[in-house]
Amino acid sequence: MEQKKNKRQLWKRIGIGIAVGCLSVILLLGIVVYAVWHNEIFTIASMELVRERNDAHFDGAVYTMHVKGGFYLEDFIAQGGVKSDAELIEFVTAKITKGLLDMGISESEIACSSFTAKSESGDVLFARNYDFAKTNTCIVFTEANEGRHATISTVDLQFLGIDVDKNLDGLMNKITCLASTYTPLDGINDAGVSCGIYMTYQGGETTIPTNQDTGRPDFTSTTLLRLILDYADNVEEAIEIASSYDLHDSAKTSYHYMVADASGKSAILEWVAGTDATDNDGAKRELKVIYNDTDSYVDTMQLSPNYQIITNFIVYPGYYDNSPEDEKKGYDRYEKIYEELSGTNGIVKDEWAAMDILRIVGRRNWDNDDDNGCTVHSVVYNLAKKTMTWVSNENFDDPSAVFTFGFED
């Protein structure tokens, strides 16, 4: 009897030892996972659905995400950036998932309208329509750290391969959203610098991406915008950043940018070589900067200290010489915005007055010259107050579709 009792006690001790061992392994694995991915865990946990989808109105779901940590941007810069979306995917996959999970970035063709203006109180406003197709959207917040600005930006999640017809479901989709820091379309930083990216259709019948090769470090379109938001204190610093890199356009298309700061200075950044008829070698393109108030040689529609306008055509002087008028994609929207701003010399009452101009040239009110189906979002950044007023898919009169964020929130 005593022998049986001893055996039972022995097995009990063995069982306890195994349980303790298993718990220790689990705890150790937990510690390792936390040590390696704690920023990513906090970031994923921060994701919040702030507006449900409405498929009948072509509204995708809207999310917010607060990014913890530096999302490896210093490593990205240190390696000299990337030359293509494929290299960007490789970098993000290696850093964020440590190579354990695949991530993707998709191709697209987008049309947009944007302008700067001043409010009656003197605040500089940066307004933007993002025209494309039904999609899920994420408003992404990043922290100020290591000499970098805090930022707020908007990301189209279909660029990351997220299904446009479903809400985010499953851990893998949320992990994929971690790459959204590298794919902003527009944004603002806590220095009051705002920037947006817009398609330009350069190269004639077949759009040819900018693909510089001067030996400078390399950046793709959206990652250059990320760099401007994180490091630029003003327009001139944004231009200095753009001048320091070889640009390789994302998604097999061509882009230009508009950047503005709280002083009222703004600039359009374009990469061109020759005229529209000859601009068919992306490697030969050079950065051209068109300021809002100091370049007497540009179109007078661009010359005002109070406003500047951008859509989808190149504004650099002479680019469309000997080209048919229909090569200027988005010129109709450009003229309409100019009509709205020039009468008041770029002074609008407030953010909602700027939003009303975006409403006029949105998908539902304008006979647009492209195939994009909806205005995914409209946003007005106040560069003085460092806030954003953001509206989902032209739902201007629906309070549940209107969001206001700032860096003090």
User: pLDDT tens digits for 324-337?
Assistant: 877 888 999 999 99
285-303 pLDDT, tens digit per residue, is 999 999 997 655 455 566 6
The stretch 268-275 carries a mean pLDDT of 95
Q: What is the pLDDT of residues 332-371, one digit of tens each?
A: 999 999 999 998 999 999 999 999 999 999 988 886 655 5
Q: Considering the entire predicted model, what is its pTM?
A: 0.89
- Please list the residues that pair with 125 across neighbouring strands: 117, 382
